[in-house]
Structure 1
Amino acid sequence: MKQRAVSAQVRWERHTQRPLFVLAALFAVAYAVPIVRPDTSDRVEWWCETVEWGVWGAFALDYVIRLLLAERRREFVRSHWLDLCAVVLPMIQPMRLLRLVATLLLVGQRARMASQIRLTTYVGGAVIGLLMFGSLAVLSVERDAPGGNIDTLDDAVWWSFTTMTTVGYGDHAPTTGLGRVLAVGLMLSGIALLGVVTANIAAWFIARFEKDDAEERRQTAAIAELAEEVRLLRAEVSALKSVAVEGVPEQRR
């Protein structure tokens, strides 16, 4: 029973991983259009809003199904509490802007289930996603803020890049509280991604060195074994020579 439940959950996660990534890309487009084109029509904005909440509903449904397929549901909730917060918090009206960050969290959680061989792809995707979402989010918050200096998409992308890399030139900076919260999130995300990249590069070098050391130890052991065999052969040859030398006088007698 346990094996069947676990298998059902794993199969669901494998089958829905790619469709959810496609929905996340669709969410990104729907989120970006009203920000990049603030003069767009009300109908287009309505459709974008509908797509955003439709995608959000798909992520929420995915969480509920995974919860129902899990055998130990309390343990699932405890181990996936970040997913639960990402699903619930943006549904509260004052926190609707958090759906941007929450979508990244949900996509990141599902990406972790992929093979480690694809780690570089997911890290690169996370960097691009954070840059894009961070730029759009800060632009939507800061563009109409009094005294704000992030007025265009170019300024927002530049600010996101310098913030993620923790360079912070200071030529562009958020002035609103929500903009500063986004800045903190980008800085922490940039540090985390840098840590992931650094750790995996270090792990690759360590694995490489360990492989080389293992091969060197194997070759050393083989050489030692051959040297021991050569020593034994020399001892046998010396013994045979001694016997042969001792046997010559007896034959002459």
Structure 2
Amino acid sequence: MDADTPLARWESRSEPPLFAASLLYLGAYAVHVLDPGLPAVGHALLECLIGLTWALFAADYALRVRLRGERFGPRYVRRHLLETVVVLLPLLRPLRMVEIYQVVQRGRQRPKLSLYGRVIAYAGTTAVLLGFAGALAVYQQERGAPGATIRTFGDAVWWTCSTLTTVGYGDVTPVTAAGRALAVVLMLLGLALLGAVTGSFSSWLLQVFTREDEEPPAR
């Protein structure tokens, strides 16, 4: 992307504060879910903060559509899927840390991390953020549901870890429709993360072994 375009200038200015807002959103949502004993006014303030940060994300999305000069529709959504997803599911907003890295590195000739290092770093951080957000969301949906096996946040974390890694022990499972929908999303993202890390690691090993084979024998 040309660094002189209006969109590039907006991204360079907006991505860091929006990333901070996404962490604020995640923190407020975590306190709202994990501390049911908080006074009603506290929960009201947290809900207000959650709504305000979401409004920032929605405004940013609308401005990006305008700056790109593209018509909003199914084609736009397909081309900018991650941007759309993080507006619909704000808990995933920290996954846009890739954009933060690109903004910081824009204008430099070479990134500090290799391609393989970047993929593994992104995938690892994404797994942690996604696991925490997924555990919060499924815990909120499942606690108190009739027949629920996910009764504590610890159960939700355990279930999320087994789901993201595609192990699926089955000792705790969601019983609500929303919880099962979240499970499908986590399964798909878990497969994508495992594929990215495994593929990058295999490519790195192949590159190392190829380089060693091409080196002349020592005399």
User: Aligned-residue CA RMSD in angstroms?
Assistant: 2.7
Aligned to 2:142: 142
Aligned to 2:171, the other structure's residue is in SS state coil
Tell me the alpha carbon deviations over residues 56-92 of structure 1, each in whole angstroms, 9 at most, x when there is no partner.
11111211222222244567555214533653xx5xx
Q: TM-score, normalised by structure 1?
A: 0.69
Structure-2 change in CA distance of 1:160 and 1:84 (3 Å):
closer
Structure 2 residues not aligned, in runs of 5+ = 103-110
1:1-253 superposed matches below 5 A: 7-73=5-71, 79-84=79-84, 86-87=86-87, 90=88, 99=89, 102-104=90-92, 106-109=93-96, 111=98, 114-115=101-102, 117=113, 118-212=118-212, 216=215
Structure 1's consecutive aligned runs of 4 or more residues displaced over 4 angstroms after TM superposition are 71-78, 209-213
Pair member with larger Rg? 1
Tell me the alpha carbon deviations over residues 5-50 of structure 1, each in whole angstroms, 9 at most, x when there is no partner.
x632123223322222211111111111121111111111111111
Equivalent AA in structure 2 for residue 57 of structure 1? A
Structure-2 change in CA distance of 1:166 and 1:63 (3 Å):
same
Aligned to 1:173, the other structure's residue is in SS state coil
Q: TM-score, normalised by structure 2?
A: 0.79
Partner Cα distance (1:35, 1:135) in 2: 11
Q: In the alignment, is the contact (CA less than 8 A) between 1:141 and 1:176 conserved in 2? A: yes
Q: How many positions carry a matched residue from both structures? A: 202
Structure possessing the higher relative contact order (Cα contacts under 8 Å, 6 or more residues apart)? 2
Partner Cα distance (1:16, 1:212) in 2: 44
Partner Cα distance (2:11, 2:210) in 1: 34
Equivalent AA in structure 1 for residue 48 of structure 2? T
Aligned to 2:139, the other structure's residue is in SS state helix
Q: In the alignment, is the contact (CA less than 8 A) between 1:164 and 1:186 conserved in 2? A: yes
Tell me the alpha carbon deviations over residues 77-118 of structure 1, each in whole angstroms, 9 at most, x when there is no partner.
55214533653xx5xxxxxxxx3xx441x4434525635734
